Amino acid sequence: MDRLRRLTARDHELLSWLAEHYVLATAQIAAAQFPSLRAARLRLAVLSALQAVTRFVDVTSGDRQYLYTLGPLGAVLYPTQYNDPLRADGREPRSNVERTERIIGSRKLGHLIGTNQLFIDLHAYARTDPNARVHRWWSEQHATAVYAGVPAAADGPSIRPDGHGIWEAGGRQVGFFLEHDNGTETIGTVLRKLQAYDRLTAHGGPHYPVLLRVPGRRREQHLLDVLAGTRLAIPVATGIHQEHPAGPAWTLTHDPGLRRWLHELPSDHGPDHPITNPHRYSDSSAGTQ
Protein backbone atom coordinates (compact mmCIF):
# COMPACT_ATOMS: atom_id res chain seq x y z
CA MET A 1 0.00 0.00 0.00
CA ASP A 2 2.86 2.35 0.79
CA ARG A 3 4.20 1.93 -2.74
CA LEU A 4 0.82 2.83 -4.21
CA ARG A 5 0.60 6.02 -2.17
CA ARG A 6 3.95 7.13 -3.57
CA LEU A 7 2.69 7.10 -7.14
CA THR A 8 1.62 10.44 -8.65
CA ALA A 9 -0.91 11.18 -11.39
CA ARG A 10 2.03 11.61 -13.77
CA ASP A 11 3.35 8.18 -12.76
CA HIS A 12 -0.04 6.62 -13.51
CA GLU A 13 -0.11 8.27 -16.93
CA LEU A 14 3.31 6.80 -17.72
CA LEU A 15 2.29 3.33 -16.55
CA SER A 16 -0.83 3.44 -18.73
CA TRP A 17 1.35 4.33 -21.73
CA LEU A 18 3.73 1.46 -21.04
CA ALA A 19 0.78 -0.92 -20.70
CA GLU A 20 -0.39 -0.20 -24.25
CA HIS A 21 2.75 0.94 -26.05
CA TYR A 22 5.24 -1.52 -24.55
CA VAL A 23 8.37 0.62 -24.28
CA LEU A 24 9.60 4.19 -23.98
CA ALA A 25 13.11 5.63 -23.77
CA THR A 26 14.33 7.95 -21.04
CA ALA A 27 14.51 10.92 -23.43
CA GLN A 28 10.96 10.26 -24.64
CA ILE A 29 9.54 10.18 -21.11
CA ALA A 30 11.45 13.33 -20.22
CA ALA A 31 10.15 15.22 -23.26
CA ALA A 32 6.52 14.27 -22.69
CA GLN A 33 6.31 14.60 -18.91
CA PHE A 34 9.24 16.37 -17.23
CA PRO A 35 10.88 19.80 -17.15
CA SER A 36 14.33 18.29 -17.69
CA LEU A 37 16.15 15.07 -18.45
CA ARG A 38 17.68 15.10 -14.97
CA ALA A 39 14.25 15.34 -13.32
CA ALA A 40 13.04 12.43 -15.43
CA ARG A 41 16.02 10.27 -14.51
CA LEU A 42 15.55 10.94 -10.79
CA ARG A 43 11.86 10.03 -10.86
CA LEU A 44 12.40 6.98 -13.06
CA ALA A 45 15.01 5.72 -10.60
CA VAL A 46 12.36 5.94 -7.87
CA LEU A 47 9.78 4.16 -10.03
CA SER A 48 12.31 1.46 -10.80
CA ALA A 49 13.03 0.99 -7.08
CA LEU A 50 9.26 0.74 -6.45
CA GLN A 51 9.09 -1.91 -9.23
CA ALA A 52 6.51 0.21 -11.04
CA VAL A 53 8.75 0.12 -14.12
CA THR A 54 11.49 -2.17 -15.37
CA ARG A 55 14.46 -0.70 -17.20
CA PHE A 56 17.09 -2.11 -19.52
CA VAL A 57 19.86 -0.63 -21.64
CA ASP A 58 19.05 0.06 -25.27
CA VAL A 59 21.66 -1.78 -27.33
CA THR A 60 19.96 -1.10 -30.67
CA SER A 61 20.63 2.64 -31.06
CA GLY A 62 24.17 3.01 -29.81
CA ASP A 63 23.36 5.68 -27.20
CA ARG A 64 22.86 3.07 -24.47
CA GLN A 65 20.09 5.00 -22.76
CA TYR A 66 17.58 3.18 -20.59
CA LEU A 67 14.37 1.84 -22.06
CA TYR A 68 11.39 1.30 -19.77
CA THR A 69 8.59 -1.25 -19.67
CA LEU A 70 5.99 -2.06 -17.01
CA GLY A 71 7.42 -3.41 -13.78
CA PRO A 72 5.67 -5.94 -11.51
CA LEU A 73 3.75 -3.23 -9.62
CA GLY A 74 2.85 -1.44 -12.85
CA ALA A 75 1.55 -4.67 -14.36
CA VAL A 76 -0.71 -5.24 -11.35
CA LEU A 77 -2.12 -1.72 -11.63
CA TYR A 78 -2.40 -1.80 -15.43
CA PRO A 79 -2.97 -5.37 -16.56
CA THR A 80 -2.84 -5.41 -20.35
CA GLN A 81 -3.60 -7.62 -23.31
CA TYR A 82 -0.66 -6.07 -25.15
CA ASN A 83 1.96 -8.57 -24.11
CA ASP A 84 3.80 -9.42 -27.30
CA PRO A 85 4.67 -6.87 -30.02
CA LEU A 86 4.77 -9.62 -32.64
CA ARG A 87 1.65 -11.63 -31.76
CA ALA A 88 -1.50 -10.09 -30.36
CA ASP A 89 -3.00 -13.57 -29.94
CA GLY A 90 0.12 -15.10 -28.41
CA ARG A 91 0.19 -17.03 -25.17
CA GLU A 92 -0.15 -14.82 -22.13
CA PRO A 93 3.22 -14.41 -20.42
CA ARG A 94 3.73 -16.32 -17.18
CA SER A 95 5.22 -13.27 -15.50
CA ASN A 96 6.08 -9.63 -15.98
CA VAL A 97 9.67 -10.72 -16.57
CA GLU A 98 8.57 -12.78 -19.57
CA ARG A 99 6.58 -9.85 -20.96
CA THR A 100 9.66 -7.65 -20.70
CA GLU A 101 11.83 -10.32 -22.36
CA ARG A 102 9.41 -10.49 -25.28
CA ILE A 103 9.67 -6.74 -25.75
CA ILE A 104 13.47 -6.65 -25.41
CA GLY A 105 13.88 -9.51 -27.85
CA SER A 106 11.32 -8.30 -30.37
CA ARG A 107 12.55 -7.51 -33.86
CA LYS A 108 10.01 -4.66 -33.74
CA LEU A 109 11.75 -2.91 -30.84
CA GLY A 110 13.27 -0.15 -32.97
CA HIS A 111 10.02 0.26 -34.90
CA LEU A 112 8.04 0.59 -31.66
CA ILE A 113 10.35 3.32 -30.38
CA GLY A 114 10.13 5.16 -33.71
CA THR A 115 6.35 4.91 -33.82
CA ASN A 116 5.99 6.11 -30.25
CA GLN A 117 8.28 9.06 -30.97
CA LEU A 118 5.62 10.82 -33.05
CA PHE A 119 3.12 10.72 -30.20
CA ILE A 120 5.74 11.69 -27.65
CA ASP A 121 6.58 14.74 -29.78
CA LEU A 122 2.91 15.71 -29.84
CA HIS A 123 2.60 15.33 -26.06
CA ALA A 124 5.75 17.44 -25.62
CA TYR A 125 4.36 20.13 -27.92
CA ALA A 126 1.07 20.18 -26.00
CA ARG A 127 3.01 21.02 -22.84
CA THR A 128 4.05 24.30 -24.49
CA ASP A 129 0.66 25.19 -25.99
CA PRO A 130 -2.44 25.24 -23.73
CA ASN A 131 -4.67 24.95 -26.80
CA ALA A 132 -3.05 21.75 -28.05
CA ARG A 133 -3.88 18.26 -26.84
CA VAL A 134 -3.48 14.59 -27.71
CA HIS A 135 -7.02 13.27 -27.31
CA ARG A 136 -6.25 9.71 -28.35
CA TRP A 137 -3.14 7.55 -28.69
CA TRP A 138 -3.81 3.97 -29.75
CA SER A 139 -1.21 1.30 -30.42
CA GLU A 140 -1.12 -0.89 -33.52
CA GLN A 141 -2.80 -3.76 -31.71
CA HIS A 142 -5.50 -1.53 -30.22
CA ALA A 143 -6.43 0.11 -33.53
CA THR A 144 -6.25 -3.18 -35.42
CA ALA A 145 -8.60 -4.87 -32.93
CA VAL A 146 -11.15 -2.04 -33.10
CA TYR A 147 -11.43 -2.11 -36.89
CA ALA A 148 -10.96 -5.85 -37.49
CA GLY A 149 -14.67 -6.63 -37.41
CA VAL A 150 -16.07 -3.77 -39.49
CA PRO A 151 -17.78 -4.48 -42.85
CA ALA A 152 -14.77 -3.12 -44.75
CA ALA A 153 -12.70 -6.05 -43.45
CA ALA A 154 -14.99 -8.50 -45.24
CA ASP A 155 -13.83 -7.15 -48.62
CA GLY A 156 -10.14 -7.55 -47.91
CA PRO A 157 -7.47 -7.18 -45.24
CA SER A 158 -8.38 -4.80 -42.43
CA ILE A 159 -6.23 -1.83 -41.55
CA ARG A 160 -3.17 -2.34 -39.34
CA PRO A 161 -1.92 1.17 -38.56
CA ASP A 162 1.27 1.50 -36.54
CA GLY A 163 -0.64 3.98 -34.43
CA HIS A 164 -3.83 6.01 -34.35
CA GLY A 165 -4.30 9.39 -32.77
CA ILE A 166 -6.57 12.39 -32.45
CA TRP A 167 -4.77 15.70 -32.21
CA GLU A 168 -6.14 19.14 -31.45
CA ALA A 169 -4.37 22.42 -32.18
CA GLY A 170 -5.14 25.72 -33.83
CA GLY A 171 -8.85 25.30 -33.08
CA ARG A 172 -9.09 22.11 -35.15
CA GLN A 173 -9.30 18.45 -34.28
CA VAL A 174 -7.62 15.96 -36.60
CA GLY A 175 -7.74 12.18 -36.42
CA PHE A 176 -5.03 10.24 -38.21
CA PHE A 177 -3.59 6.81 -38.85
CA LEU A 178 0.18 6.48 -38.72
CA GLU A 179 2.35 4.30 -40.96
CA HIS A 180 5.89 4.54 -39.61
CA ASP A 181 7.92 3.69 -42.71
CA ASN A 182 11.59 2.73 -42.36
CA GLY A 183 12.04 2.46 -46.11
CA THR A 184 12.00 -1.34 -46.10
CA GLU A 185 8.53 -1.93 -47.56
CA THR A 186 7.88 -2.07 -51.28
CA ILE A 187 5.66 0.53 -52.90
CA GLY A 188 3.21 -2.30 -53.67
CA THR A 189 2.90 -3.05 -49.96
CA VAL A 190 2.28 0.61 -49.19
CA LEU A 191 -0.43 0.79 -51.86
CA ARG A 192 -2.18 -2.31 -50.50
CA LYS A 193 -2.23 -0.73 -47.05
CA LEU A 194 -3.76 2.46 -48.43
CA GLN A 195 -6.44 0.45 -50.25
CA ALA A 196 -7.50 -1.00 -46.88
CA TYR A 197 -7.95 2.51 -45.49
CA ASP A 198 -9.93 3.43 -48.59
CA ARG A 199 -12.28 0.49 -47.99
CA LEU A 200 -12.75 1.54 -44.37
CA THR A 201 -13.85 5.03 -45.43
CA ALA A 202 -16.08 3.70 -48.23
CA HIS A 203 -17.90 1.44 -45.74
CA GLY A 204 -18.75 4.28 -43.37
CA GLY A 205 -15.61 4.48 -41.27
CA PRO A 206 -13.67 7.60 -40.31
CA HIS A 207 -12.20 9.81 -43.02
CA TYR A 208 -8.80 10.32 -41.43
CA PRO A 209 -5.54 11.12 -43.21
CA VAL A 210 -2.94 8.39 -43.37
CA LEU A 211 0.47 9.71 -42.36
CA LEU A 212 3.35 8.04 -44.21
CA ARG A 213 6.36 8.99 -42.07
CA VAL A 214 9.55 8.07 -43.88
CA PRO A 215 13.29 8.23 -43.11
CA GLY A 216 14.35 10.74 -45.77
CA ARG A 217 13.50 13.03 -48.69
CA ARG A 218 14.39 10.50 -51.36
CA ARG A 219 11.89 7.96 -50.04
CA GLU A 220 9.30 10.70 -49.60
CA GLN A 221 9.71 11.97 -53.18
CA HIS A 222 9.45 8.44 -54.55
CA LEU A 223 6.15 7.95 -52.71
CA LEU A 224 4.85 11.33 -53.86
CA ASP A 225 5.70 10.50 -57.48
CA VAL A 226 3.90 7.15 -57.34
CA LEU A 227 0.88 8.36 -55.39
CA ALA A 228 0.39 11.40 -57.62
CA GLY A 229 -1.24 9.10 -60.17
CA THR A 230 -3.14 6.95 -57.69
CA ARG A 231 -6.84 7.48 -57.05
CA LEU A 232 -7.58 7.42 -53.33
CA ALA A 233 -10.63 8.59 -51.40
CA ILE A 234 -8.61 9.14 -48.25
CA PRO A 235 -6.13 11.96 -47.74
CA VAL A 236 -2.53 10.73 -47.56
CA ALA A 237 0.31 12.88 -46.26
CA THR A 238 4.03 12.20 -46.26
CA GLY A 239 6.51 13.43 -43.67
CA ILE A 240 10.09 12.88 -42.52
CA HIS A 241 11.10 11.17 -39.27
CA GLN A 242 13.30 14.07 -38.20
CA GLU A 243 10.66 16.79 -38.62
CA HIS A 244 8.39 17.74 -35.74
CA PRO A 245 4.99 16.17 -36.44
CA ALA A 246 2.96 19.05 -35.00
CA GLY A 247 4.53 21.57 -37.37
CA PRO A 248 4.58 22.16 -41.14
CA ALA A 249 5.95 18.69 -41.80
CA TRP A 250 3.24 17.11 -43.97
CA THR A 251 2.78 17.02 -47.74
CA LEU A 252 -0.60 15.90 -49.07
CA THR A 253 -0.05 13.56 -51.99
CA HIS A 254 -2.87 15.17 -54.00
CA ASP A 255 -1.54 18.69 -53.35
CA PRO A 256 2.24 18.50 -52.93
CA GLY A 257 2.97 22.19 -53.37
CA LEU A 258 2.61 23.08 -49.69
CA ARG A 259 3.82 21.56 -46.42
CA ARG A 260 1.07 21.68 -43.81
CA TRP A 261 0.83 21.58 -40.05
CA LEU A 262 -0.77 18.44 -38.66
CA HIS A 263 -3.87 20.32 -37.53
CA GLU A 264 -4.35 21.67 -41.08
CA LEU A 265 -4.82 18.23 -42.65
CA PRO A 266 -8.35 17.28 -43.79
CA SER A 267 -10.10 15.02 -41.30
CA ASP A 268 -13.59 13.79 -40.48
CA HIS A 269 -14.63 11.48 -37.65
CA GLY A 270 -17.17 9.90 -39.98
CA PRO A 271 -20.75 8.76 -39.37
CA ASP A 272 -21.95 7.85 -35.90
CA HIS A 273 -22.50 4.13 -36.48
CA PRO A 274 -21.46 1.41 -33.99
CA ILE A 275 -20.81 -1.21 -36.68
CA THR A 276 -19.05 0.66 -39.46
CA ASN A 277 -17.36 3.22 -37.22
CA PRO A 278 -16.79 1.72 -33.76
CA HIS A 279 -15.43 4.01 -31.05
CA ARG A 280 -16.15 7.11 -33.14
CA TYR A 281 -14.54 10.04 -31.35
CA SER A 282 -16.86 12.76 -30.15
CA ASP A 283 -15.96 15.82 -28.11
CA SER A 284 -18.54 18.57 -28.00
CA SER A 285 -16.03 20.97 -26.47
CA ALA A 286 -13.87 20.95 -29.58
CA GLY A 287 -14.72 21.54 -33.20
CA THR A 288 -14.62 18.50 -35.46
CA GLN A 289 -13.96 18.71 -39.15
Q: Is the pLDDT of residue 164 over 50?
A: yes
DSSP assignment of the chain: -HHHHT--HHHHHHHHHHHHH--EEHHHHHHHH-SSHHHHHHHHHHHHHTTSEEEEE--SSSS--EEEEE-HHHHHHS--S---SS-TTSPPPSSHHHHHHHHHT-TTHHHHHHHHHHHHHHHHHHTT-TT-EEEEEEEHHHHHHHHTTSGGGGGSPPP--SEEEEEEETTEEEEEEEEE--S-S-HHHHHHHHHHHHHHHHTT--BPPEEEEESSHHHHHHHHHHHTT---SS-EEEEETTS-TTSS-EEETT-TT-EE-GGGS--B-----TTTSTT----TTS---
2-25 per-position pLDDT tens digit:
888 899 999 999 999 999 999 999
Q: What pTM, to 2 d.p., does this model score?
A: 0.94
111-163 per-position pLDDT tens digit:
999 999 999 999 999 999 999 999 999 999 999 999 998 998 888 889 999 99
Sorting pLDDT into bands at 50, 70 and 90, what band is 62? low
- Strands lying side by side in the sheet with 210-214: 133-139, 163-169, 172-180, 210-214, 236-240, 250-252, 259-260
What percentage of the chain has pLDDT greater than the value 70?
Answer: 96
How high is the pLDDT of residue 2?
Answer: 82
How high is the pLDDT of residue 1?
Answer: 66
- Mean pLDDT for the chain? 93
User: Which residues lie below 8 Å from residue 58, measured CB to CB, with a gap of 6+?
Assistant: 25, 64, 65, 66, 67
Smallest CA-to-CA distance from 22 within 77, 137, 117, 99 is with 99
228-259 per-position pLDDT tens digit:
988 899 999 999 999 999 999 999 999 998 99
In angstroms, the CA 271 to CA 285 distance is 18
What percentage of the chain has pLDDT greater than the value 90?
Answer: 80
274-287 per-position pLDDT tens digit:
999 999 998 643 43
How high is the pLDDT of residue 154?
Answer: 84
How high is the pLDDT of residue 61?
Answer: 66
Residues forming a β-bridge with 175: 166
Sorting pLDDT into bands at 50, 70 and 90, what band is 92? confident
